[in-house]
Amino acid sequence: MKKVNLVHRKSSLVPELKTSRIPGFYRLPVERRLAYLARTFKLSEQQISMLRNGNALRVEHAVNMVENSIGVFGLPLGLGLNFIVDGREHLVPMAVEEASIIAAASKAALLIRKGGGFYTKVDDPVMIGQIQVLDLPDPKKSADAVLANKQRIIDAANQSAIRMRKRGGGVFDIEARILDEKSKVGPMLAVHLLYDVCEAMGANAVNYACESAGPIIEEITGGRVNLRILSNLADRRVARAEFNLPVEYLATKNMSGLEVARRMVEASEFARIDPYRAATCNKGIFNGVCAAAVALGQDWRAIEAGGHAYAARNGRYSSLTSYDYEDNCLKGRIELPMQVGWVGGAVNSHPGVKLLREISGVRNSRQLAGLLVSVGLGQNFTANLALATDGIQKGHMALHARSVAISVGVPANQVEDVSQEMIRRGEVKVAVAEEIYRRLRQLSDNGCVEEDLPVKSFAHGKVVLFGEHATVYNYPGITSTIDKGLTVRISHDPDGPRFVYPHFKQVFPVPKSEQDIRLFSKAADYALEHYGLQHEQIAIKIESDLIPGMGLGSSAAFSVGLCSALRKYKHLDQERKWDTGIFEDAQRLEAIFHGNPSGMDTATVLSEGVLWFRKGPPREILPIRVPTPAAGLLCIVEPGARTIELVERVQRNREHDRETVDGILEEIGNITVDAGIALGIGDMQETGRLMYRNHEQLARLGVSTAALDEAVEFLLDRDGVLGAKMTGGGGGGAVVALVKPDTQYYLAQDLAEHFPMVIPFELGAAT
């Protein structure tokens, strides 16, 4: 058959992968890895959740995929990195339980990309269907008759391939083989249908064709047709990959690159001539091929069966790879049947496969065959390289150490510490892991596990006192910082820069959309680049007492806190005001979370007090100096809705009844103006009365809830409460109360029994 080079077809739907080289990827927390994928491939939070939680395949899918379904069984899913195949960058999804496989594939691809990566040739997608014919008085005459009636048989076979024929596929040729070697049932004829399956793996199509052609073959031969089935020795559908790596890249501390190459060739010859070695050699190839095939929805059993049969095609089982030294390069080659499909089967029925093939960068079955065979060659290369130099166990030690640490119950955030200590000692044992973990727990209990960090920055959260939703339509708003906030710590990290997934205070299950790691990670990456720290050896840790989705300004606090910490790290100007450069820096980060933020949250966090805000133009940001002591309580009531959803609801209502909605918004704006005056002269009684009037208008606007209304009424019945209202976007969330300062402490204690969380704060305390 004709051999063809892969042709790359770009997809307009999936972003093109710029590089599969991601240094330090294995050191990143899982959420940071997911954030990278989300940004690179524009994945939704639902798709990320499928990867994170392993719920891409649910039982309702499984029940239609297999008989007697009782559930879904999971495998660890990882990414093979660094792959360049025919000049294209690829990430390789791999589902496998063995610890070293993905690391070995990535290491191989990293070395081989220095020589230009892998180059492949893939045969046309031709599968073989077999029809067994018995009870033949003259097998030779029957074989001749089959060939003489080739077109009749092809036409009969293609009756079941109408759609495939429209795509240019179907049965296109016939072969006849006489088999009589030591047969218990006498000689037989094997008729082969050569079937172009296009983008499919083709098993079902070939089987249908064999069954359709069976009666015609019986008629032509006068024999009896028994089996009609495809062959998984797909030797007309072979994929080949090779690489050329200058030997200088093979050198180790104790061995020249030329010596390593020579040993690789020796290992290759061992596997070529000895089936005992060849079996282990080929098993290593399928470690990689099958892991990737499973993740990408392929029939890995068929691929492996065909590969092993192909390894014995010359009468002796041999290696599927070979290595030679040519032109000062190590040349690696692999050749094996690759029966893969880009349509049909699990590709269409498994939601996770659809997602993973987007990540892989593969666009058709030819590219898939080339990628899988390259993974197999890379996997084999790494194994042989380890065997020919340091031995196989040294490379496995780190991964084995992690497995041992996990087996004794070490938490995920301490697995690396325990495993590295075992490796340092040279004792990767369960007892040693238990001893190290016990010591770490003791240090933690004594408060000695974490040293003081060199850089620390705190940013306040905020609460809206007046003007929610009206600010969208250029009416003023009044906000205040609260005592709760977010801390950013920067420490030295030799594997940095790293962003550690933030920890948020939670009183309800927080929607993933409100703590989307993609956004935090993207903001951290932007800040590092903005300040020229993208190669700095640092780790960024976030600790937050702010509850996401409650209108407390967690993203603004994150943006201000991160910019402040990085500026402090670089010894830049530390003045934190809304009219300094840090405001613009933090606003750029806020834009990652909210698209086109007004600047109110950022300005409030920077003001550390009470603020008058109008988005403009021109933008108005004015601190309100409260002349008398004023205290507030923020009470968390119920899970909140997304602000954007409430803003859109108001917009839809305004389109339906503009006069009414505009009247409400104008009234909120007037209330806010009056509140600004009341706060400015220290009239807390009037400020409290205006808060309730503001809440009434927000309820008319349709953004309050029954629980928020009830909470406001409950607060107004308490002694010492001057006023109360919902705060933030609405649809749930929190209420804010203005209270007499001398009652704040006792009210907070009392209200803590009625609300999931109560946060006291001072108005203008930092002004």
The active-site residue out of 192, 350, 396, 615 is 396
Helix, strand, or coil here: 595? Answer: coil
The active-site residue out of 98, 266, 324, 710 is 98
Residue 462 is a catalytic residue: no
Nearest Cα residue to 338 out of 378, 367, 379, 295: 367
Residue 396 is a catalytic residue: yes
For residue 639, cis peptide bond before it (omega within 30 degrees of 0): no
Tokens of 421: 């200590």
Phi, then psi, of 27 in degrees rounded to 5: -85, -15
Angstrom distance (rounded) from CA 202 to CA 345: 10
Indicate the residue type of 457.
S
Answer yes or no: are the C-beta atoms of 755 and 734 closer than 8 Å: no
Residue 299 is a catalytic residue: yes
Angstrom distance (rounded) from CA 228 to CA 190: 10
Helix, strand, or coil here: 545? Answer: coil
Nearest Cα residue to 294 out of 9, 56, 38: 56
Residue 43, C-beta contacts closer than 8 angstroms, at least 6 positions apart: 37, 355
Angstrom distance (rounded) from CA 345 to CA 348: 6
Which residues is 130 bridged to in the sheet?
192, 229
The active-site residue out of 86, 123, 299, 545 is 299
Tokens of 374: 């390259």
Residue 655 is a catalytic residue: no
Tokens of 102: 């993905």
- E strands present in 287-440: 321-326, 329-337
Helix (H) or strand (E) run with residue 326 in it: strand 321-326
The active-site residue out of 8, 61, 150, 283 is 283
Answer yes or no: are the C-beta atoms of 23 and 113 closer than 8 Å: no
Residue 470, C-beta contacts closer than 8 angstroms, at least 6 positions apart: 476, 477, 665, 666, 668, 669, 672
Nearest Cα residue to 367 out of 127, 11, 85: 85
Indicate the residue type of 620.
E
- Kindly list the distances between the CA atom of residue 620 and the CA atoms of 612, 675, 682, in Å, as whole numbers in the listed order: 7, 16, 22
Positions marked active-site: 98, 283, 299, 396
